[in-house]
A and B are shown apart, each in its own frame.
Chain A
Amino acid sequence: MRGTAATLTLIAGVALIAVIVASALPSGGGAFSTRSLAPASTNTGAAAPPRISRVFDSTIPAKRYGSLIAHLENGGTNLQGQLVSDLSPIAPAAFAAPIAAYRAYAVRWSNATETAIAKLRRTLARGSRAAARSAWLAAWVSYVHLGAVYGLIGPLDHRIDGLPGELGETSFGGLHRIELGLWCGAPPASLQPLAASLARAVDTLPHAVATAQISPLDYATRGHEILEDAQRDFLSGLDVPWSGAGVAGTAAAVAATDEVIDTLAPLMSGRDNTLIEVDNELALMRATLARIRGEHGGSWPALSQLTIAQREALNAATAGALVQLQEVPGTLETAQLAQPPSLP
């Protein structure tokens, strides 16, 4: 879709230049009379190409005017001050630094998840349900902060965060199994074996994240899809059926999205208006979440505790952010879309 739109824009830009050139042709009467303009194509193949040095109503040389128009129409200036056009794809190597930065961030949150799980185990042993629930929430939210790991760390993701019935999985024993216990009446101490097994899985997380293969396409797509998953799985309540921790989960997903977008900002800047639009919408989301948290005394409410106004504000902010984030993968294309071969 983006490729087509960009091509159309280019065509429009070329047509505009053609019109400007045509307007500049010395013809009978005033050079800029209201005569009807011939289509651009009829100007080609004329006996002698017109020599144009200046463009109407400007002091810019015609040659430079053409490339400026192209940039105005199709590109801009990036954070490094370079002129870029969204018609020229980004070199895959340019993703190395953003991915490395994200990886360091994800390893930090993996370590934080380990710490949080250790704390969860201690609270389970002490037997207080309220303390165990809050430790569970902290551990789960830590894990959600990783954001972009899904599909990149193999079956480990399911062992830590899986729900029953997921694609190709039959086991159910991670964070959500403990969630089920804590919100449906199981004695906290009885959940200790599950937490011990979870801790063993999480122990391998930092290494898995540090060594995961992340391609530019994976990474660019995740800039969009972390929040898609939050909307589908957290805000709907689907993935947090017992705790209803969809607001906290969404906030963590926004933080992960922020991280990915921040690392990609140097690549996105200057290409369309994507970065600015995304930043605006994410700022609105953060403000909405902060306001809701404030209205609930500084802690995340369960989905069922949201007022109608809070629910609507959060749903709408998420939808608004997603409509801008959808532009991220196309803005970060590493290749021109090729027309598929035709059927013979």
Chain B
Amino acid sequence: VSRLNRRSFLTRSALTTLGAAAGLGAGLATADAGAAAPASSFALEERGLALAVPFAGRHQAGILTPPPLNATFLALDSVAPDRGTLIEGLQALSGEARRLCEGDAVGVLELDDPPPDSGILGAVDRPDSQTVTIAFGASLFDGRYGLEARRPRRLREMPSFPGDLLDPTRTGGDVLVQICATHRDTVVHTVRELMRAVAGRFAIRWTLDGFKSAQRGPTPHSSTRNLFAFRDGTANPDVDDERLMSRLIWVGPRHGEPAWALDGTYQVVRTIRMHVEFWDRVGMFEQQNMIGRERVSGAPIGGSGEFEDPRYDLDPHGRRIPLDAHIRLANPRTAPTADQRILRRGYNYHRGVDPADDLDQGLIFVAFNQDIQRQFATIQTRLMNEPMLDYITPVGGGYFFAPPGVRGAADWVGSGLLS
């Protein structure tokens, strides 16, 4: 097909599309008038799609903000030849992310040009509670861009912990983009638009889609379940407690970090394959003892409510909750371990089957903390002896640093590092 032929073909298809769109509009109006129930659920849907989480702020969104149902994690490697091009790429990434989180009308520049937005969400990109959180991996601070001296002091490559089978093609990355929104199509659209915006600047190293379990109660505060069917996040620190967040999550002025990192946080991502068929073939009693909680209610074993204190002090020999139960090792709830607590914000994943027809399902473990060594890595080392290890295989992820949020309309994530 010669260039000219292709162009005339495009003109024709554009006209056809316009005609079809007009017809579709008429059909939609008729359907709305005819059915009351769909109209009301449509109104609810509209209201949800209109919800926006501010992109700008002291901290980035997507850390303390409530996790919406859908997510995609996108790990990018910079292919920019120099620092100036890297800055262009990060500005484009941040700018497009902000546009999509705030919501924007989809414009048309020229009928014979490719439209500036793929348009898969229609005439308006609704915000849909979307957050896009941008974080940097240790590899960004190698020699390429002269950033060695500005590396966050506690940022390094994620080590392979005993039992990990880390796949290099699913681990690490210069930049991690965490996209969260209520609807799957919003997330997919954002992945597509972001990659248009940074084409030629970043390559995708790995990507993984996640979903949260629906809130099925019994209360609006109940933690939702992971794919082992247990509630996940019960012991999370209270994100509304600002003093606690300063103690556990945010980098402060006294942490010896570079000034640009102030109000940022370290992000740990672990792609943990769960051997769900094997898990499902284990007795309920054993499952509960491995976790330390009752499966249905989420209460600590012997308790009745999800948020009840497990009172390890009254059970020093593990007669009620085994000493190697997951919750007991992860958070012993003692004074010396209080500053090891992390904020978990994980998503479930499902990505097909392996050659043995076992489902490839698991957890995108996400944790935010002030100091990976003091917090996440200390907990992880304690968990090395838990019986649950037989049922999981960590295969990817990485350590990242999420810089502070953007201030003002022209600011972009990473400006403090690169300006």
Contacts and interface: CB of A to CB of B under 8 A. Distances in A.
Contacts of B356: 231-232, 235-236, 315, 318
Nearest to A327: B281
Q: For chain A, give the interface size range.
A: 35 or more
B355 interface: yes
Nearest to B294: A340
Given A167-B162, A228-B281, A330-B283, A237 B355 contact: yes
- Majority SS at the chain B contact face: loop
B69 interface: no
A284 interface: no
A326 B278 CA distance: 9
A4 interface: yes
Interface in A285-332: 303, 311-312, 315-316, 318-319, 322-323, 325-326, 329-330
B321 to A, nearest CB: 8
Interface in A161-217: 165-169
B107 to A, nearest CB: 48
Query: Binding site of A, secondary structure by majority: helix, strand, loop or mixed?
Result: helix
A228 B278 contact: yes
B108 interface: no
Contacts of A319: 277, 357
A344 interface: yes
A79 to B, nearest CB: 25
A337 B281 contact: no
Contact of A343 (B164, B278, B300): B300
Contact of A337 (B277, B285, B321): B285
B256 interface: no
A3 interface: yes
A326 B282 contact: yes
Nearest to B304: A343
Given A165-B160, A231-B358, A318-B356, A343 B303 contact: yes
A63 interface: no
Closest 6 CB pairs of A and B: A235-B356, A326-B281, A1-B284, A315-B357, A1-B283, A343-B303
Given A318-B356, A342-B302, A344-B311, 11 more contacts: A3-B283, A165-B166, A231-B358, A236-B356, A237-B355, A329-B283, A330-B283, A340-B302, A340-B319, A343-B314, A343-B320
Interface of A: 1-4, 165-169, 224, 228, 231-232, 235-238, 303, 311-312, 315-316, 318-319, 322-323, 325-326, 329-330, 337, 340-344
